[in-house]
Structure 1
Amino acid sequence: MNALTVNLQSVLELTDEQFFNLCQANRDLRFERTATGELIIMPPTGGETGNRNGRLNQQLFNWSDTDGTGIAFDSSTCFKLPNGADRSPDASWIKLERWDALTEEEKQKFPPISPDFVIELLSPSDSLKVAQEKMREYINNGVHLGWLINRKSRQVEIYRQDQEVEVLESPVTLSGEDVLQEFILNLEAIW
C-alpha cells in the first residue's frame, strides 16, 4: 500500500494548530505534510518492516540513554521543519541543548526543529525516489546526518551536510560519525 497525497490547498489551508488537531483526532492514521501544504496519509507498515524499525529504534534509544547528550525519537514523532513541512522520520535524535531550548508547548506538539540525525527504513511499498527526496529535504532543513536503509537492495545511502550522497553495499555496521559519537548501528538485525 502506497502513501496517499491529498492536495487541499484549493479548498482549505490547514494551520499548524489545525494540522496538529487533525492528527490527534485521527490517531489510527499517520499524517505528514509537505512544505507546500499537501497532506500525506502514510499506510501502516507490515510486520517485517515494523520489526526492523523497532530494532533500529532499540539500538538508537539504548545508545542515547547511555550517551546522555541528546534524546531519541521513534516514527510516531512529527517535526515541523524550517521549510514548513511536517515530517516523521522512522528514527531520529536531537542534541539535548537544542531540545532544551524549546518551550514546553513546542515539545508537546510537533516540535519546530530539525533533528540532528534521522533514519528512514524503506518498506516494500515505499518509493525510493520519494524517500530520497525526503532525505534531501531533511538535509536542506538542518539535519546533519541521515541514513536511508533499503533492505531489498541491501544498500544504505548516507546523507551529510554539504556532501554528495554516499552509497554503501551490504554494510555490517554504520557509524554515527561525529554527530552521534560512538554510536554503531548493527545491521545484522535489520537485513
Structure 2
Amino acid sequence: MIATRLRPMAIQARRIYVELMFQVMGRALQGISEVDKTAQDEARHLPDGFLFEMLVRPKGPRLVVEHLGNGRLRYVGTGSPRPVDLSIQFKHIAHAYLVVSFQEKTSVAFANDRMLVDGDIGYAVRMTRILNRLEAFILPKLIAKRAVKEYPNNLKLPEKALSAARIYLKVATHFFDTARAS
C-alpha cells in the first residue's frame, strides 16, 4: 500500500532531478566550450548553427545547445528555435536518471538500448566526447570514472580543479544571467 503511494513520488523526484541536471549540463557545456581548448577543438568540427538536443521521451525534460562557431557552444534552453541536427533521446525517465545520476555510463545505456540517436553518428560521437570531458572535469574522479567510458590519464588534480572551478563559475553566471533576464 505504501509502495504504491510512493512510486509516483519517486518518478516525480527523478523527473525533477533529470530536469535540473539537464539545465546544469546545458550551461556546463556552454561553460566548457568557453574555457577548455580540447572541448573547443571537438566542437569546431560541428557546423555553425548546429543544434544538439538531449531529451526524455515522450514529453520529458529537454536541453538544447547550439554551436555558434569557433568551438563555442550556447545553451539555448528547453525549446529549439528550429529543427535540431542531432537528438539523443532517452526512452524513459528511469533510463535518463541512471545516466545523469552517474549510475550508468552513456555508452552502457546506449548498448542496453535505453537511448536513441537521431542524426549523424559522427556528430553524436563528438558531442559524447565533449560531455565525457565535461564530466571528467566537474565530477570527483571516483564518480567520473563510473560516468565516462575512459577517464583521461593526463588529467591531473591542479588542471582538474582549476577547470572545474572555471566551469562551475560559468554555470553560476549563466544561471544568474537567466534569472536576471526573466
Specify the TM-score bucket, using the shorter chain as the normaliser.
Answer: 0.3 to 0.5
Please state which structure has a larger fraction of its residues in helix: 2
Work out which structure has the larger RCO, using CA pairs closer than 8 Å and 6 or more positions apart in sequence.
Answer: 2
Instruction: Output the TM-score relative to the length of structure 2.
Output: 0.33
Please state which structure has a larger fraction of its residues in strand: 1
